[in-house]
Amino acid sequence: MYRRGFIERREFTPHYDNVELHREITYTMPDGRKTTTLFTSQDGKTNIQTTFDAETENDPEFQKQGWQAILDSFVRYVESN
Domain boundaries, the chain: 13-80
Nearest to 17 by CA among 43, 30, 2, 36: 36
CATH topology for the 13-80 domain:
Alpha-D-Glucose-1,6-Bisphosphate; Chain A, domain 4 (3.30.530)
Rounded Cα–Cα distance for residues 61 and 70 (Å): 14
Residue 72 confidence (pLDDT) above 80: yes
Tell me what pLDDT residue 38 has.
Answer: 96
Of 1 and 76, the structure prediction assigns the larger pLDDT to: 76
Phi, psi (degrees; rounded to nearest 5) at 75: -60, -45
33: left (phi over 0), alpha (psi -120 to 50) or beta: beta
Residue-wise pLDDT for 2-46, tens only, equals 444 545 556 678 999 999 999 999 999 989 999 999 999 999 999
> 38 or 78, which is more confident?
38
Q: Considering only CA atoms, give the Rg of the chain.
A: 14
